Amino acid sequence: MVEVLLSGLQLYCPACKNPLRNVEGGVYCSFCNIKYPRLLDILDLRYPRPEVSKLEQSQIDEMTKGFASLSFDELLQVFLREAQLSKRVVKDTLNYYRTQTERAEKMVGMFFSRYQEFYGSFSTDYALDVGCGSGGGSVALAKRCKEVVGIDSHLSQLILAKKFIEQSDIRNIRLVCAYAQCLPFGKESFGFAQGINVMEHIEDMAGAIIGEIWRCLESGGGFAADSRNRFDIFLPEPHSGIRFLGFLPRRWIPGFVRQITGNHYEHTRLLSYREIEAVLAGCFNEYRVVLPYISAYGRPARMDRWVRAFEHCGILNRILLCFFSAHLALARKH
């Protein structure tokens, strides 16, 4: 059997964790009798196998057909057109994607700086970008690490990421479509893993996902992720624009958002300070939830000094963590 390698890493079936082998059009697990397809050199290793809607398939087909000739911005227009969003949401989303380079660079810089401040160095040979989306975080990570693997559960996002990476002339990133709760990698594959704006989208699978990240980290490996705070009192909730939304009972929130904005909210679940601690504690012996750099979210860098000052104020720091706009989750595997 010819083993399937990705930048030197062995790939495994996400269902049974046995080695995969190459076949025409993808890879195959002889133990599960499952064939995983390959599209634009992106392996689709999602398990359980997804049911793709007609709208999503139409989006993927059009993006694939035009991939070679279209720019990132043009593919983005296709992506948003098929998504059937309102004009306001399209405008905001376009701006979000087009500014991802600067935002991701600040965020990954913060991850490295804050992690090393508390836990010291880690291996940068192989790094994992969980929920990599359209590739901004992977590109920023690739500037600091030898090899980067970006995973996302949405194939259309990875098509955007592939184009963005190509236009950025970055060559040490590989993309895999996979669910974070069933990672197709072996034990201790990565020295570092990150998640940018993903913890609020993993819903009730947070424990399983953090467990998989822990399994795939080397001994001494690090994890860093940011998360918007459910009980933020400073800024509107980022996915709906509604202030103090997290203070409502969770079962009311999706209906309330639909009533106010007309948008869906079923796949977003902001976590509180205590909830993030509980998720990390389920797998890691060394972890902490700290305040992020304000500058990583586009605020003036001088404000970081005020936030850092609170870290030495005991109870005031705890209070601020409960109600601040975002959290930074850091953990190290023994």
pLDDT of 139 > 80? The answer is: yes
pLDDT of 194 > 90? The answer is: yes
6-30: b (≥16 Cβ within 10 Å) or e: beebebbbbbebebbeeeeebbbbe
* Tokens 């057909």 -> residue: 65
**Domain holding 317: CATH number?**
3.40.50.150
Rounded to a whole number of angstroms, the CA Rg of the chain reads 20
Q: What is the pLDDT of residues 123-133, one digit of tens each?
A: 999 999 999 99
Q: Is 240 inside any structural domain?
A: yes
8 Å CB contact between 92 and 238 = no
Q: From CA 191, how far away is CA 50, in angstroms rounded?
A: 29
- Arithmetic mean of pLDDT over the chain: 92
Q: Is 187 inside any structural domain?
A: yes
Q: Is 85 inside any structural domain?
A: no
Q: From CA 286, how far away is CA 265, in angstroms rounded?
A: 33
Q: Is 5 inside any structural domain?
A: no
- Total structural domains within the chain: 1
pLDDT of 85 > 90? The answer is: no
Q: Which domain holds residue 193?
A: 100-332
Q: Is 255 inside any structural domain?
A: yes
Q: Is 112 inside any structural domain?
A: yes
Q: Is 79 inside any structural domain?
A: no
Q: Is 149 inside any structural domain?
A: yes
Q: What is the pLDDT of residues 24-62, one digit of tens each?
A: 999 999 999 999 999 999 999 999 999 988 888 999 999
Q: From CA 97, how far away is CA 47, in angstroms rounded?
A: 28
The model's pTM is 0.95
Q: What is the mean pLDDT of residues 150-178?
A: 97
Q: What is the pLDDT of residues 223-252, one digit of tens each?
A: 999 999 999 999 999 888 899 999 999 999
